[in-house]
Structure 1
């Protein structure tokens, strides 16, 4: 196949410092190695424009308007248009005009849609190859929210789930291939939209060079006496908020009864008021945004991922494993990672299991270090980005010869 690629993402793929941006960043790099790539994405903060030069360096052309629509306005538009709030929130007339112009003036052989919200920018009459990377089945996530919440919020989440399910089905029917982050997510989508569509996994990878414990110095405050439990993630994301509340309120107090020095470190940007309040409790430190999470991982006695709602593969878990940390994960956070329980990590099914596992491993540092070494070996052997994106040329319709020439 000859021609360029149009890449549409709901967020700027720079810097690769949160789950979705890590994936979009490495996918973009892989696409740029196949053919010239034109990038349409949305900026969310003024700081995003500090990275526009990095985007321009990899893209043949790009458009990055600022997303400024308030959630309240997006909600009202969604009600009027009978569509998911997610679509209304990411609609941009400026980006839409740029897509139309790019398709009219460039030979775009393939479009790669990153995240379902961006499918709205693909014209109905587009005749080239369309690949849609949903990453996760978002409709299932909102279904889970709706079951946990009552009143107006529960109704909003149930509505979003129902309408997103329709969007996902429509995109799967249009796409030459629909990608999900794991086989489990792919099978979930097949069960919801039909098995006649091409729905395949594209696993997340990890930058094992950057996430190398040999090149990172532990944060000074975690190098002191511990033990130190660490959670990393975007801290205005509801599943992450629920996870740190669970650990701080239901798990840590029982650990501190045995080891009063135990400390829980919550590391990640935009902590909500509920998360900040956790920092008022004994043994909890809320760090907020940090320049680099790796020193916190390097200093962790253990990394915990006690999520109760989790879609796809958790980058936070892969990063901790690559940094040779002993990870205790919930069953939900373990989804899509084929590591072995008890060898590469430990999966805990309940609050009691988290407490029991943590105390067991605190008392057995040699066993903990064995798990940490096995974790890095597992990631090194199976989850490099070059390996996980190797099938993209074929999925987009480009031959191996074209890729090698590029």
Structure 2
């Protein structure tokens, strides 16, 4: 089958959540013998190199389209009362190319990577003509319920950003509901996302869960160094992303001083690209390292002693937690960080939602050898059982291979 993927970012290199997810979906579909063509907007010239690397890596074709200046895109969104997320990724050249491909009968299925890409479908006359629409299956990978994420931002913000986030939450929600009405199949990353969206709909028969997987050939456990009294704590992620920034800042403000009092030689490594000024300032605190971009994140998981994931704002599945588990690195997370991950507290992870309970979990993990060993051994087994990409993506294959529309 011929499959068009409308990707809001080029999914290469697969070095962060949404890129990892889309990359593995494309890789899986190509390995099943499907002909895959990716259309994606871009901001930086280096993304053109990434596109060529994606083509050669997976044996697919990629078409890239340059975006206008960001301020112009956002101004357009404000002027047209459009979601800023949608206007940020929209490109007329990409729309024209997509329309031409649809008119030429080039594809049997279209996959959109997030509701931001739905605008290209909505503006295609053939696909929106319900009386004579072509037999093309439309698949929406929402990933997360983005409107709820913006609502969470709104609840924690002050004027004027509270108004900006509230506006975006409402407009994205309109796009999500319209997408559900037009697309044939809609995926979310977890059951919780499905349930949240189901509560907003009259019926939800087209909603399905498509989880995230882990490549165990890349993320695997190794023997850890024995460092009595010198524990290394780790957090990974894109460090100008608000949920990551909030989680790390909370941990430093609420827990780190107690950790240093108990273990004066403890280290906290914050590994990930694009640290915000707020995160960069944390290096002034004793024992804290902010790496910025790293070529290979795996050694950081393999050399740390504890992975902390104290999320207070989150949507969807946290890949970083899955990666830590695959590497046999014990995880302490809030309940929010565990969303969409069927790990068993006390067997696979430790869950703590307050500063006091988080510190108590750290104390237990670093003083109870049997607990540490159990979590370290259970993590990789849990990933193999629940998060291998081949098993996770079978539902996508089933949907794609259902020809035409329901």
SS in 2 for 1:151: coil
Residue 286 of structure 1 is matched in structure 2 by 290
Paired residues of 1:115 and 1:133 also in contact (CA < 8 A): yes
Paired residues of 1:329 and 1:347 also in contact (CA < 8 A): yes
Per-residue CA deviations over 1:22-66 (Å, capped at 9, x if unaligned) read 000001112222521111012343332222223223365321123
Name the CA distance, whole Å, in 2 between partners of 1:241 and 1:112: 30
CA RMSD of aligned residues (A): 1.9
Matching residue within 150, 160, 175 for 2:168: 160
Name the CA distance, whole Å, in 2 between partners of 1:225 and 1:254: 14
Structure 1: runs of 5+ lacking an equivalent: 400-406
Paired residues of 2:331 and 2:349 also in contact (CA < 8 A): yes
Per-residue CA deviations over 1:185-231 (Å, capped at 9, x if unaligned) read 111111123324410100111111110124xx87x9x9897211000
Aligned-residue offset at 1:382? 1.3
Residue 126 of structure 2 is matched in structure 1 by 125
Residue 26 of structure 2 is matched in structure 1 by 28
Q: Equivalent residues in 2 for 1:70-149 (5 A)?
A: 70=70, 72-122=71-121, 123-126=124-127, 127=134, 128-149=136-157
Name the CA distance, whole Å, in 1 between partners of 2:151 and 2:113: 22
SS in 2 for 1:64: strand
Residue 393 of structure 1 is matched in structure 2 by 397
Paired residues of 1:69 and 1:89 also in contact (CA < 8 A): no
Structure-2 change in CA distance of 1:73 and 1:341 (3 Å): same
Name the CA distance, whole Å, in 1 between partners of 2:72 and 2:341: 38
Tell me which moved more, 115-124 or 145-154.
Answer: 115-124
Residue 348 of structure 2 is matched in structure 1 by 344
Name the CA distance, whole Å, in 2 between partners of 1:69 and 1:177: 33
Paired residues of 2:269 and 2:289 also in contact (CA < 8 A): yes
Paired residues of 1:248 and 1:284 also in contact (CA < 8 A): no
Q: Kindly report structure 1 stretches of 4+ aligned residues shifted beyond 4 Å.
A: 222-225
Matching residue within 6, 25, 48 for 2:4: 6
SS in 1 for 2:111: strand
Paired residues of 2:147 and 2:172 also in contact (CA < 8 A): yes
Paired residues of 1:39 and 1:59 also in contact (CA < 8 A): no
SS in 1 for 2:174: helix
Name the CA distance, whole Å, in 2 between partners of 1:265 and 1:103: 48
Matched, 1:53 2:52: yes
Aligned-residue offset at 1:330? 0.8
Matched, 1:248 2:256: no
Name the CA distance, whole Å, in 1 between partners of 2:391 and 2:78: 43
Paired residues of 2:51 and 2:62 also in contact (CA < 8 A): no
Query: Normalising by the residue count of structure 2, what TM-score does the alignment of the two structures yield?
Result: 0.92
Q: How many residues align?
A: 392
Paired residues of 1:173 and 1:197 also in contact (CA < 8 A): no
Structure 2: runs of 5+ lacking an equivalent: 128-133
Paired residues of 1:36 and 1:59 also in contact (CA < 8 A): no
Per-residue CA deviations over 1:355-391 (Å, capped at 9, x if unaligned) read 1110121112332121111011111111100000011
Residue 67 of structure 1 is matched in structure 2 by 67
Query: Normalising by the residue count of structure 1, what TM-score does the alignment of the two structures yield?
Result: 0.92
Paired residues of 2:229 and 2:263 also in contact (CA < 8 A): no
